[in-house]
Homo-oligomer: A and B are copies of this chain.
Amino acid sequence: MQDEKIRLCVDHPLGPGQGVPLTEAQAHYLFGVMRLAAGDRLRLFNGRDGEWRAEVEAAGRRSGALRVTGQTRPQAQGADLWLMFAPLKKARTDMLVEKAVELGATRLMPILTEYANAERFRPDKAEAHVREAAEQCETTLLPQVDAPRPLTRVLADWPEGRRLIWADEGAGRAGERLAPLPEGPAAILIGPEGGFSPPERARLAALPYVTPIALGPRILRAETAAIAMLTLWQAQRGDWV
């Protein structure tokens, strides 16, 4: 394979002439699955140093080395957008993580709420999905993945100057118009399938940095609401405009 269709996300620093050793899993993917050989080219990124062209220097069954030859793109900065979500069932969480990368979220924050669907969220598994999605969608952005934290604690530590955009499923059915999204750094908040509890709703409604947004007359599943809100934000305030 002589073109550079293959993109690999690595941890190693990237720069001109840089040597990049491969893990066993990376060597298996490049040489066992994708059938690259010495001299073949690919592209690398690490979420910090942009995207670089590299060549295979050594290809083994369980190891290998690449050499960076030149930069293909500078590091994208992305728009400053966090996604806070209650972990869902596994397949839907995996899908949500993949879509959040495609749609340019810069931080993924699993939150624990009173009506949680699932307590389990594995940040290491989510990070693997992040890297795979980033390889696929041609981005150089790797969103940070947090460990799950209770909603109450996240709200108590809220940083100054960031708006919290609350996908409020109660609002849409009342026939409210879709409001414009606030400007500046933002976080999108999506509740679990069962919604937020009355005390959680009251707390959110009272916070000065919260903007509730209705997403139409139908009840969206949590992951649909997340994708829709990420889309609207990128289209109004993010890197789609």
Please list the residues of chain A having a beta carbon within 8 angstroms of any beta carbon in chain B.
Answer: 76, 95, 98-99, 102-104, 136-139, 172-173, 177-178, 214-221, 224, 227-228, 231-232, 234-235, 238-241
Contact = CB atoms under 8 A, between A and B. Distances in A.
6 nearest A-B residue pairs (beta carbon): A216-B240, A228-B231, A137-B218, A231-B231, A138-B219, A178-B240
Contacts of A221: 98, 102, 136-137
A188 B31 CA distance: 39
Contacts of A103: 216, 218, 220, 224, 228
Contacts of A137: 218-221
Tally of this chain's copies? 2
A217 to B, nearest CB: 6
A139 B172 CA distance: 13
Contacts of A218: 102-104, 137-139
Given A102-B218, A216-B240, A231-B232, 18 more contacts: A102-B221, A103-B216, A103-B218, A103-B228, A136-B219, A136-B221, A137-B218, A137-B220, A137-B221, A138-B218, A177-B241, A214-B240, A215-B240, A216-B234, A216-B239, A217-B239, A227-B227, A227-B228
Contacts of A173: 138
A72 B10 CA distance: 56
